[in-house]
A = this chain, B = another copy of it.
Amino acid sequence: MNEQVPEAMSWSTENCTISRTMEILGDKWTFHVLRELFVGVRRFEDIRTRAGVPRQVLTDRLAALIERGLIRRHPYRLPGQRERYEYRLTQAGLDLYPVLVAMIQWGDQYLPLDGGPPIEARHRGDCNAHVTVVLRCEAGHEPTPRDVVLRPGPTAKPRALAG
Protein backbone atom coordinates (compact mmCIF):
# COMPACT_ATOMS: atom_id res chain seq x y z
CA MET A 1 0.00 0.00 0.00
CA ASN A 2 1.79 3.04 -1.29
CA GLU A 3 0.09 6.37 -0.71
CA GLN A 4 1.39 7.60 -4.07
CA VAL A 5 -0.58 5.04 -6.05
CA PRO A 6 -3.95 4.18 -4.58
CA GLU A 7 -4.89 0.51 -4.84
CA ALA A 8 -7.90 1.45 -6.97
CA MET A 9 -5.63 2.71 -9.75
CA SER A 10 -4.73 -0.88 -10.55
CA TRP A 11 -8.24 -1.97 -11.42
CA SER A 12 -10.52 -0.81 -14.14
CA THR A 13 -13.86 0.95 -13.96
CA GLU A 14 -15.00 -0.83 -17.06
CA ASN A 15 -17.51 -3.18 -15.47
CA CYS A 16 -18.00 -1.25 -12.26
CA THR A 17 -21.40 -1.81 -10.65
CA ILE A 18 -21.77 1.88 -9.90
CA SER A 19 -21.16 2.77 -13.54
CA ARG A 20 -23.58 0.18 -14.77
CA THR A 21 -26.22 1.32 -12.31
CA MET A 22 -25.66 4.91 -13.32
CA GLU A 23 -26.18 4.03 -16.96
CA ILE A 24 -29.78 3.57 -15.87
CA LEU A 25 -30.20 6.13 -13.09
CA GLY A 26 -27.46 8.64 -13.69
CA ASP A 27 -29.50 11.18 -15.48
CA LYS A 28 -31.13 14.32 -14.22
CA TRP A 29 -34.60 13.45 -15.48
CA THR A 30 -34.74 9.73 -14.88
CA PHE A 31 -34.56 10.28 -11.18
CA HIS A 32 -37.26 12.94 -11.29
CA VAL A 33 -39.51 10.51 -13.11
CA LEU A 34 -38.84 7.78 -10.58
CA ARG A 35 -39.63 10.14 -7.73
CA GLU A 36 -43.04 10.80 -9.24
CA LEU A 37 -43.73 7.10 -9.49
CA PHE A 38 -42.61 6.60 -5.89
CA VAL A 39 -45.03 9.21 -4.61
CA GLY A 40 -47.84 7.67 -6.64
CA VAL A 41 -47.99 9.93 -9.71
CA ARG A 42 -48.23 7.56 -12.63
CA ARG A 43 -49.68 9.30 -15.66
CA PHE A 44 -47.77 10.96 -18.46
CA GLU A 45 -49.34 14.40 -18.11
CA ASP A 46 -49.19 14.36 -14.34
CA ILE A 47 -45.55 13.37 -14.30
CA ARG A 48 -44.75 15.93 -16.92
CA THR A 49 -46.39 18.87 -15.21
CA ARG A 50 -45.31 17.99 -11.68
CA ALA A 51 -41.71 17.19 -12.52
CA GLY A 52 -41.41 19.77 -15.30
CA VAL A 53 -39.89 17.30 -17.76
CA PRO A 54 -39.99 18.21 -21.44
CA ARG A 55 -42.42 15.87 -23.22
CA GLN A 56 -39.87 14.38 -25.51
CA VAL A 57 -37.50 13.67 -22.68
CA LEU A 58 -40.28 12.05 -20.68
CA THR A 59 -41.25 9.80 -23.59
CA ASP A 60 -37.64 8.84 -23.94
CA ARG A 61 -36.98 8.14 -20.27
CA LEU A 62 -40.17 6.15 -19.77
CA ALA A 63 -39.23 3.97 -22.72
CA ALA A 64 -35.76 3.44 -21.28
CA LEU A 65 -37.12 2.56 -17.84
CA ILE A 66 -39.53 0.05 -19.37
CA GLU A 67 -36.77 -1.50 -21.40
CA ARG A 68 -34.62 -1.80 -18.30
CA GLY A 69 -37.48 -3.40 -16.40
CA LEU A 70 -37.89 -0.74 -13.70
CA ILE A 71 -41.42 0.18 -14.68
CA ARG A 72 -44.26 -1.24 -16.78
CA ARG A 73 -47.25 0.20 -18.63
CA HIS A 74 -50.60 -0.49 -17.09
CA PRO A 75 -53.94 0.21 -18.81
CA TYR A 76 -56.54 2.41 -17.12
CA ARG A 77 -59.73 4.10 -18.22
CA LEU A 78 -61.32 7.24 -16.83
CA PRO A 79 -65.12 7.32 -17.02
CA GLY A 80 -66.15 8.68 -20.40
CA GLN A 81 -62.68 8.47 -21.87
CA ARG A 82 -60.79 5.98 -23.88
CA GLU A 83 -58.31 3.54 -22.43
CA ARG A 84 -54.86 4.92 -21.72
CA TYR A 85 -51.73 3.74 -20.01
CA GLU A 86 -50.08 4.66 -16.77
CA TYR A 87 -46.66 3.68 -15.53
CA ARG A 88 -45.96 1.63 -12.43
CA LEU A 89 -42.82 0.52 -10.66
CA THR A 90 -41.86 -3.12 -10.94
CA GLN A 91 -40.18 -4.92 -8.06
CA ALA A 92 -36.83 -3.83 -9.50
CA GLY A 93 -38.05 -0.25 -9.44
CA LEU A 94 -39.41 -0.51 -5.92
CA ASP A 95 -36.09 -1.89 -4.77
CA LEU A 96 -34.58 1.51 -5.47
CA TYR A 97 -36.29 2.69 -2.31
CA PRO A 98 -33.08 2.51 -0.28
CA VAL A 99 -31.33 4.75 -2.81
CA LEU A 100 -34.14 7.26 -2.65
CA VAL A 101 -34.37 7.19 1.12
CA ALA A 102 -30.61 7.56 1.40
CA MET A 103 -30.75 10.63 -0.81
CA ILE A 104 -33.59 12.18 1.18
CA GLN A 105 -31.71 11.47 4.38
CA TRP A 106 -28.57 13.14 3.09
CA GLY A 107 -30.55 16.12 1.83
CA ASP A 108 -32.34 16.49 5.14
CA GLN A 109 -29.02 16.62 6.90
CA TYR A 110 -27.02 18.84 4.57
CA LEU A 111 -29.65 20.92 2.80
CA PRO A 112 -32.18 21.38 5.58
CA LEU A 113 -35.16 23.71 5.30
CA ASP A 114 -36.43 25.89 8.12
CA GLY A 115 -39.47 24.20 9.56
CA GLY A 116 -38.54 20.64 8.64
CA PRO A 117 -38.47 18.43 5.58
CA PRO A 118 -40.92 18.79 2.69
CA ILE A 119 -41.05 15.04 2.16
CA GLU A 120 -40.78 12.14 4.56
CA ALA A 121 -40.38 8.41 4.27
CA ARG A 122 -42.66 6.61 6.70
CA HIS A 123 -43.50 3.06 7.68
CA ARG A 124 -46.85 2.40 6.05
CA GLY A 125 -49.83 1.71 8.29
CA ASP A 126 -50.23 1.93 12.04
CA CYS A 127 -46.53 2.30 12.79
CA ASN A 128 -46.11 5.41 10.63
CA ALA A 129 -42.63 5.98 12.08
CA HIS A 130 -39.97 7.84 10.11
CA VAL A 131 -37.89 5.53 7.90
CA THR A 132 -34.16 5.92 7.36
CA VAL A 133 -31.41 3.82 5.94
CA VAL A 134 -28.51 2.35 7.91
CA LEU A 135 -25.25 0.73 6.90
CA ARG A 136 -24.86 -2.78 8.24
CA CYS A 137 -22.28 -5.47 7.75
CA GLU A 138 -22.98 -9.18 7.59
CA ALA A 139 -21.50 -9.61 11.06
CA GLY A 140 -24.26 -7.38 12.40
CA HIS A 141 -22.22 -4.24 13.06
CA GLU A 142 -23.45 -0.86 11.92
CA PRO A 143 -20.31 0.87 10.68
CA THR A 144 -20.08 4.61 10.12
CA PRO A 145 -19.11 5.78 6.64
CA ARG A 146 -15.51 6.05 7.80
CA ASP A 147 -15.51 2.37 8.71
CA VAL A 148 -16.53 1.25 5.25
CA VAL A 149 -14.13 0.57 2.39
CA LEU A 150 -14.84 -0.11 -1.25
CA ARG A 151 -12.68 -2.98 -2.44
CA PRO A 152 -12.33 -4.85 -5.73
CA GLY A 153 -14.48 -7.97 -5.86
CA PRO A 154 -14.00 -11.31 -7.67
CA THR A 155 -14.72 -9.86 -11.13
CA ALA A 156 -12.66 -6.67 -10.79
CA LYS A 157 -10.66 -6.16 -13.96
CA PRO A 158 -7.01 -5.23 -13.82
CA ARG A 159 -6.08 -2.01 -15.52
CA ALA A 160 -2.93 -1.10 -17.41
CA LEU A 161 -1.00 1.46 -15.40
CA ALA A 162 0.61 4.23 -17.38
CA GLY A 163 4.34 4.43 -16.74
Residues of A at the B interface (CB closer than 8 Å) are 4, 6-9, 11-13, 15-22, 25-28, 31-32, 35-36, 38-42, 46, 49-52, 69, 78, 92, 94-111, 113-125, 127, 129-139, 141, 143, 145-157, 159, 162
Contacts and interface: CB of A to CB of B under 8 A. Distances in A.
A21 to B, nearest CB: 4
Nearest to A28: B26
A156 B119 contact: yes
A86 to B, nearest CB: 10
Contact of A98 (B78, B108, B133, B151): B133
B135 A97 contact: yes
Contacts of A146: 94, 124
Contact of A148 (B8, B22, B124): B124
B137 A122 contact: yes
Q: Count copies of this chain in the complex.
A: 2
A113 B121 CA distance: 32
Contacts of A38: 150
Contacts of A99: 99, 102-103, 106
A28 B27 CA distance: 6
Contact of A106 (B6, B46, B98, B111): B98
Given A19-B32, A26-B28, A94-B146, 8 more contacts: A11-B118, A13-B51, A16-B118, A22-B32, A49-B162, A102-B102, A119-B152, A133-B133
B16 A119 contact: yes
Contact of A124 (B120, B138, B149): B149
A116 to B, nearest CB: 4
